[in-house]
Amino acid sequence: MLSAFFHIAMVSPTRQLSLRRAAVVHVIFLCALGLVIQANANLQTLTLASQVLIAVSIVEASIVCGWRLTQMPKSQALEFMLTSPVQPKRLFFAEAAVGLSRFLFVHLAGLPVILLLCSVGLLQYFDIWAVFVLPFIWGVTAALGLTVWAYETLLVKRVGEVVAIVGVIIYLVVGVLAGEHLREWLLALPTSVGQVIFDAYRYLHDGNPFGVVAYWMSPRRNAIVAWEMMQECCLIGVIASVVFFIRAAYRLQGHFADRHYRPFFTNRVDEVARIGEQPLSWWAVKRVMEFSGRVNIWLAGGFSTIYAAYILAGDAWPPWMGRLVFEIFEKMGGVPGLVTGLVILAAVPAAFQYGLWDSSTQDRCRRLELLLLTELDGRDYWNASLAAALKRGRGYLLIAGMLWLALWFSGRIDLSQLLVSVSAGLLVWAFAFLLGFLAFSSGYQANGLGSFLTLGMPLIIFLVYHYLGPTWAMLFPQGIVYATLLNPVSWPCLIIIPYTVLAWRMRRMALRRCENDLRDWYDKNQGVRVAE
């Protein structure tokens, strides 16, 4: 049975292509990171690079493995497998084994680059634990955790979301507002209680993968303690992965039944009022908000709100409140970097087209078979995609807007810098949406394009900014967002004008071609047997 799943994965043209692209992107990213390490050969750069590798591994594992596992129960074709002699747990085991193996191949593609960095002395061979083993383990943990979260019941999701939001609030109070003054704050509590809270915070702060890597690369580290922390962190990741794996395997059939057969209760009058005259837009918005991502918004919004208050207060910031977190963040890019990151996060749903895109050619054909028989035209598809992208990404744009205003009111930037940076940020979002929508209507898989726009392009622009300077980086909208918050407005910013004209022309082209492109794609793919 297991060999059949691996055979299908290896002969599928779509999955082969996605695997190759992921491996190539991973290698290119590591090469670019190696250039950054070579240009700034110090422990701080190594620490940041190692932490970035953990984040990238989490993203890659979620895309290569977690995404397919979460999409699998959406297909009703799975019912034939679930009612066959093949047990659901064995089915999940086989599909998860394929996904994790694909992620391992992608991860191994970057190993020669890491070994090269070790051979030239930029890394120690023992650092492979920090830059290769630990990121892989926690990438697997994140992918399986994402799968479990998708499979859980609605009640568990709601309770988990509340717990996560409470945890975010505690983190913001303890880790940001109190910061380096946490021990002084805890003196107001009974000694035993204060010590327990302080120890728990220090363990969570230092014992997570990012904290372990930071201590591993620290010049003041104790080698024995660092190795023990690394072992413990890897062991926790492995145990968590096993627990997530078992839980997801046992929830697969229940999640499928909940998704396709649970009773649906609704107030029809209210539902019809919400649908209004744009049923496709209503459906797309409802689809993308199945996993609303409120925890991420709370985290980004809470931290940015405190950061904005810190900027506005300036020297008037109370001495009993933390400053160290903000000072560290200022060295890592500060508000300009945070604003640029928020704009890119807002562009993620615009680029990937979550609202309209289907996970397989067969599902897409079945959906288009219904939609293309209606009176819906290209503008309806445009409005639906736009509504879904804005609903999912507008929170990050609003948070970025708060930081833009905080910089302006504090006097760090003038009005021209504010307007140019905001305009460039809107262009970043517009181009992500336009390219994603054109990919959707033509049938081109949005995963590769979305990954390039939200991961590849920022990395390229960072390298351009670092090696060629802000003037060259400002040839890209993302570079303008960042550079104009650090430097006065200059003539390269005029490139916003042709970018705006290009975006307008792309909009007209997308609206004109959408319906015809969808019908052409459907005619070419309906009834075609595709190995996904």
Question: Within 10 A of 365 (CB to CB), how many other CB atoms are there?
Answer: 17
Q: Across the chain, how many H-helices and E-strands are there?
A: 27, 0
* Helix residue ranges per DSSP H, 83-132: 88-109, 111-119, 128
| Residue appearing with tokens 């689809």 | 287
Give the C-alpha separation, 521 to 525, whole Å. 6
Per-residue pLDDT reduced to its tens digit, 67-124? 888 888 877 767 776 666 777 888 899 899 999 999 999 999 999 999 999 998 888 8
Contact between 107 and 57 under an 8 Å Cβ cutoff? The reply is: yes
The dihedral built from the CA positions of residue 515, 517, 521 and 523, taken in this order, carries a sign that is: positive
Mean pLDDT, to the nearest integer, of 397-425? 93
Token pair for 532 = 């996904």
Give the C-alpha separation, 390 to 401, whole Å. 15
Question: Within 10 A of 291 (CB to CB), how many other CB atoms are there?
Answer: 14
Biggest alpha carbon–alpha carbon distance for the chain: 73
Mean pLDDT, to the nearest integer, of 162-171? 84
Contact between 342 and 399 under an 8 Å Cβ cutoff? The reply is: yes
* pLDDT on residue 164: 84
* pLDDT on residue 330: 83
Mean pLDDT, to the nearest integer, of 36-52? 82
Give the C-alpha separation, 48 to 56, whole Å. 12
Q: What percent of the chain has pLDDT over 90?
A: 30
**Higher pLDDT, residue 505 or 526:** 505
**Higher pLDDT, residue 332 or 468:** 468
* pLDDT on residue 531: 47
| CA 306 remoteness from chain centre | 23
Give the C-alpha separation, 377 to 365, whole Å. 17
Of 120-129, 130-139, 257-266, 345-354, which one has max mean pLDDT? 130-139
Residue 425 has pLDDT above 90, yes or no: yes
* pLDDT on residue 188: 72
**Higher pLDDT, residue 459 or 28:** 28
Please give the mean pLDDT across all residues of the chain: 84
Residue 190 has pLDDT above 80, yes or no: no
Per-residue pLDDT reduced to its tens digit, 361-400? 777 787 787 778 888 888 888 988 898 889 888 999 999 9
Residue 58 has pLDDT above 50, yes or no: yes
Mean pLDDT, to the nearest integer, of 488-493? 86
Mean pLDDT, to the nearest integer, of 59-68? 87
DSSP assignment letter at 495: G
Mean pLDDT, to the nearest integer, of 499-516? 91
DSSP assignment letter at 359: S
Confidence of residue 342 (pLDDT cuts 50, 70, 90): very high
Query: Cα-flanking dihedrals φ and ψ of residue 277, to 5°?
Result: -95, 5
- The HSE-up count of residue 204 (CA atoms within 13 Å, CB side) is 12
**Higher pLDDT, residue 179 or 144:** 144
Residue 249 has pLDDT above 70, yes or no: yes
SS3 186: helix
